[in-house]
Structure 1
Amino acid sequence: MQISLPQSARLTDAGSDTSLSAVEIEAKIAQWQTLLQGYGATRVVITADSSISWVLADLACLSAGLVLTALPTYLSDAQRHSVIKSLEPDLWLSDTPVLDPACSLLDEFDGLLLYQRQVQSAVVVPAGTQKITFTSGSTGAPKGVCLSLHAQLDVALGLKARVERLCEGPPRHLCMLPLPTLLESIAGVYAPLLAGGEVIIAPDTLRGFAGSRLVKPQALLQLISTIQPKSLILVPELLKLLLQAAEQGWVAPQSLQFIAVGGAYVSPALLQRAAGVHLPVYQGYGLSECASVVALSDTAAKMASDTVGLPLSCRSVEIIDGELVVNTPFLGYLGQDGSASDKVYTGDLAEFTSQGELRILGRRKNLLINSFGRNISPEWVESALTDSGLISQAMVFGDAEPYCAALVFAHPTVSDAAVAASIASVNDNLPDYARIVRYQRLEQAFSTTDGTLTDNGRLRRESINQKYAADIISLFANQLSADVPVTGEQYDLLSHIA
């Protein structure tokens, strides 16, 4: 597919004077396509910080019909190894040296290293697959979602039409989320470019990020103030940062017309705070299996409501037994025969309002979704904690929170120092979003007697939540430690903003 952009489309690097016009973008895409096809690429992996070259390589794969997998830089070594093994790419793009004996350096182009990778075994991907996006993984092994070109462009065009009704003039979008995030690549890159807008890319350091953690919120706020974008896409935790800064006196750019928030539960109270400081926040809902966005609130009067708005024009939805179901062709998961379907069961309980909007009521299962939109199975982390042998029982929390916390029980003969060392050891083998940042050691074990365990020894989560409500609240209160990821509360947010 030949990509043709409106004449006004632009790609700009926030850290340099580099800015490409539509003609220059198309020429660069053609160069990348020639390079990739010249090396016989069929399945491409990219592991690199956000950059214009990242976007161009992505668009080249889209144009050439090559299967692309973009991996976040914050994946653990074990997760990255699992992905590479399941995918068996033949070309690897990276902005740092790849230490893999199966890889040999071929070339360097536009700041990215190109590695040929020796394929160990044949991998069959579903017909029509153009992109494989790996979810953050509710367990240790991320799941590969196979998406067609058609599915991605449908969503991009649906968003283009929706946002054009909300914003004046061509979009000017600043990418806040890492580019491997499907929401940012489709809604933050494809849609604005197709609308003839400008997409501004900033590396992790300019956005104040290290891995999946925001370590310098002042840098993020300064970037927004400097760039003066019209639109942003945020996860709830980043929205909290903007609200906190605005409530402390930070003045959001008057240029901002549209701030989309999604990826995890957004409370009505948070949206009401946004309305209170006049931030134009619109809530959305989506999932990777549906090529990201499914629904988006699109009128200012609904910005502080508890709905996620109307489904996009390309998305037909229904509610079956209380669960939201999206009627869309899904190619399936990598390596899982029979996972293709014409219906995507989301696992979210939902209802329609009288105006036909969607209201999300909660998760059908125990899956935790933190405030950065990362999926975490509590059973996975709990098992890692108890596998050490020192910790007998554990329950992990973190739904809609910026980090994970736990209640743990260890035999009284086990010292506090040993418990701390055990948790630190477990954290070393977990991705940063699943690590236990805070914990409380219990004096009594969960038991059938007090109703916190089932007869077969499983956690009664609701009972534990009720019994230890005060303790759980304290685990997420006073988030002042430098070890706590991405709250921003430990900083004077205005101290470094001009």
Structure 2
Amino acid sequence: MSQFFTLLHEQARSHGERIAFHGFRHGKDQLCDVSYQALLAEVEQTAAVLNGFEPRCIALKAANSIDWAIVDLAALILGIPIVPVPSFFTPSQVQHTLTSCGADLLIGDWQESDGKDCSMVAGLSVFRPYDAALIPLLPGSRKVTFTSGSTGQPKGVCLSEGNLFQVSNMLAQQVSSSVLGGRHLALLPLATLLENITAIYVPLILGQTSVLLNGEQTGLSGSSQFNPQHFLAALIHHRPSSLVLTPALLMALIQLVQIQPDIAKSFRFIAVGGARVSAALIARAHELGLPVYEGYGLSECGSVVALNLPDANQLGSAGKVLGHNELKIDEQGQVWIKGNTALGYIDEPFTTPWLATGDIGELDEKGYLTITGRVKNQIITAFGRNVSPEWVETEAQRYMSLQRMVVIGDGELNLTAVVCANDDEMVVDDVRGLNSQLPDYARIGRVLCVANSTKLREFYTSNGKPIRSSFEAWAANLTEHEQVHSYHLTQA
């Protein structure tokens, strides 16, 4: 029997009237509560309906809602692989996802071109795809999470229920003393593995309440469109005790707390990840009373691998490795992980215990992990010095004008910063300030200020990661007709 189904039974029996989910039903505009007892009944009913379709694999594409969580849990307890499809995927990425996993049942927001509308389940539309291929997923696959890499082409990671349970149970153990009695607000899409775990599975283990709102109601739509007023309204109305944020969203939260300090009072634990976070940014959050803790993880390891905690916290690090994993760093500085590794990619099982992450990191004598960049992104300057662009970009987070700065310069004498800017003078001044905090080999020598940010959209993946090779090629072939101002800085 599913471990999560057993947990749901236990919560319904022991705390049946406790609220499991607070939020919206799909397509509805009225808030509602679902108790653990009611959740068990709805999950069982949904599982029975899903079972009647006899699906091999389910693709779920919808905004955050209580119904999203119910379908996800129902598929899990049936042992049917489910593929959460991010709403920010492009049509070609969605098609690639469906073709790769062979989903033969589509649930949620699909179009007529995707399949034939045949029914409803848990308030969501059900479609039969027109051309689902028979794709054998890796044995034991229960969730296939697609992540957009540097090429923009998603790659499916196959996770077992054991993978999901191990990381969820470990997180529940580590944060229970901080979050018990509170409520978690899902800000990121549930199609994101980290939020799927922290907003559905961890609260289920702890018997907590999770608040599920769609992106318009929380202020976050797509992968990077953000409305701070909607975010503020959600925080004031729901008073969450925990959140999961990206560095950019943490910056937004800090700005809101500076304007309205009272919203910080409800928080007990705020996890931040998805990219390296500036120690100065987290220190500022702590000064404002925000309990922010940086972590590190990847889909290939079921999400979270390391995490700072209230009683074990070191600024500038991603925390200590959690107990369900082992970690080592090789001579080239690459991080390797063993323990809760995934089954593999679709049609590409992992065959060795240790997984090469592609991340560059350091492990200090106290066991704190610091991630400095990606192996494939490492810049080697004309002077032969190795620089991780992510490290320089992280240090730039302390400056508002440099939040979207991209560092390039492989093989060049000096590094170049590409910045979308309305105020060139402020950008150049901030880069000078940044340079004063960096060693000479990592300082920015040229700044490219781009007035029209739409020019650079094609240089990012759908989830907002820079395609550095595209930036390098573009910068090397700039013409005088482009709306770009170039500034050369004197190195100190």
Matched with 1:229 is: 240
Higher helix share: 2
Matched with 2:483 is: none
CA distance in 2, matches of 1:61, 1:200: 21
CA contact (8 A) 2:318 2:370 kept: yes
Secondary structure of residue in 1 paired with 2:151: coil
CA distance in 1, matches of 2:210, 2:61: 20
Shift of residue 396, structure 1, vs aligned partner: 9.3
CA contact (8 A) 1:4 1:26 kept: no
How many residues are matched?
A: 407
| Correspondences of 1:69-218 after superposition (within 5 Å) | 69-94=83-108, 96-100=109-113, 103-167=115-179, 169-218=180-229
Greater RCO structure (CA 8 Å; 6+ sep): 1
Match of 1:211, as an amino acid? G
Matched with 2:274 is: 263
Within the candidate set 323, 331, 354, 1:313 is matched to 323
Secondary structure of residue in 1 paired with 2:335: strand
Within the candidate set 73, 78, 81, 1:67 is matched to 81
CA contact (8 A) 1:29 1:60 kept: yes
CA distance in 2, matches of 1:254, 1:426: 37
CA contact (8 A) 1:331 1:341 kept: no
Shift of residue 135, structure 1, vs aligned partner: 0.3
Shift of residue 81, structure 1, vs aligned partner: 1.1
Within the candidate set 58, 63, 71, 1:44 is matched to 58
| Closer/same/farther in 2, CA of residues 425 and 161 from structure 1, 3 Å limit | closer
Matched with 2:45 is: 31
CA contact (8 A) 1:228 1:253 kept: no
CA contact (8 A) 1:45 1:91 kept: yes
Identical counterparts, % of pairs: 31
Shift of residue 334, structure 1, vs aligned partner: 1.2
CA distance in 1, matches of 2:372, 2:197: 26
| Closer/same/farther in 2, CA of residues 121 and 396 from structure 1, 3 Å limit | farther
| Closer/same/farther in 2, CA of residues 362 and 137 from structure 1, 3 Å limit | closer
| Closer/same/farther in 2, CA of residues 242 and 43 from structure 1, 3 Å limit | same
Match of 1:47, as an amino acid? K
1:10 and 2:20 aligned: yes
CA distance in 2, matches of 1:234, 1:22: 26
CA distance in 2, matches of 1:211, 1:147: 24
Matched with 1:342 is: 353
Matched with 1:431 is: 462
CA contact (8 A) 1:330 1:341 kept: no
CA contact (8 A) 1:49 1:204 kept: yes
| Correspondences of 1:246-325 after superposition (within 5 Å) | 246-299=257-310, 302=313, 305-321=315-331, 322-325=333-336
| Closer/same/farther in 2, CA of residues 444 and 89 from structure 1, 3 Å limit | closer
Matched with 1:21 is: 35
CA distance in 2, matches of 1:27, 1:56: 10
Match of 2:36, as an amino acid? A
Please give the per-residue CA displacement for 1:211-244, whole angstroms capped at 9, x wherever unaligned.
2233321101110121011111101110000111
Within the candidate set 37, 49, 71, 1:57 is matched to 71
Shift of residue 440, structure 1, vs aligned partner: 12
CA distance in 1, matches of 2:161, 2:58: 15
Match of 1:433, as an amino acid? G
| Closer/same/farther in 2, CA of residues 469 and 75 from structure 1, 3 Å limit | farther
In the alignment, structure 1 segments of 5+ residues that lack a partner are: 372-377, 379-394, 399-418, 447-466, 472-498
Please give the per-residue CA displacement for 1:27-53, whole angstroms capped at 9, x wherever unaligned.
111111111110111200011000000
Give TM-score, length-normalised by structure 2. 0.75
Match of 2:464, as an amino acid? Y
Secondary structure of residue in 2 paired with 1:46: strand
| Closer/same/farther in 2, CA of residues 142 and 179 from structure 1, 3 Å limit | same
CA distance in 1, matches of 2:46, 2:103: 17
Give TM-score, length-normalised by structure 1. 0.74
CA distance in 2, matches of 1:161, 1:97: 38
| Closer/same/farther in 2, CA of residues 9 and 319 from structure 1, 3 Å limit | farther
CA contact (8 A) 1:330 1:342 kept: no
CA contact (8 A) 1:133 1:145 kept: yes
Match of 1:319, as an amino acid? I
CA contact (8 A) 2:142 2:160 kept: yes
CA contact (8 A) 2:187 2:215 kept: no
Match of 2:123, as an amino acid? G
CA contact (8 A) 1:285 1:293 kept: yes
| Closer/same/farther in 2, CA of residues 230 and 338 from structure 1, 3 Å limit | closer
CA contact (8 A) 2:219 2:227 kept: yes
Secondary structure of residue in 1 paired with 2:306: strand
Secondary structure of residue in 2 paired with 1:121: coil
Within the candidate set 354, 362, 375, 1:364 is matched to 375
Please give the per-residue CA displacement for 1:105-158, whole angstroms capped at 9, x wherever unaligned.
121233210012244432121111111000023213101111111001100000
Shift of residue 301, structure 1, vs aligned partner: 6.7
Please give the per-residue CA displacement for 1:31-84, whole angstroms capped at 9, x wherever unaligned.
111111101112000110000000000011111110000011111111111111
| Closer/same/farther in 2, CA of residues 397 and 182 from structure 1, 3 Å limit | farther
Shift of residue 468, structure 1, vs aligned partner: 6.9
In the alignment, structure 2 segments of 5+ residues that lack a partner are: 379-388, 395-405, 407-415, 420-449, 479-485
Secondary structure of residue in 1 paired with 2:142: strand
CA distance in 1, matches of 2:454, 2:472: 11
Match of 1:324, as an amino acid? V
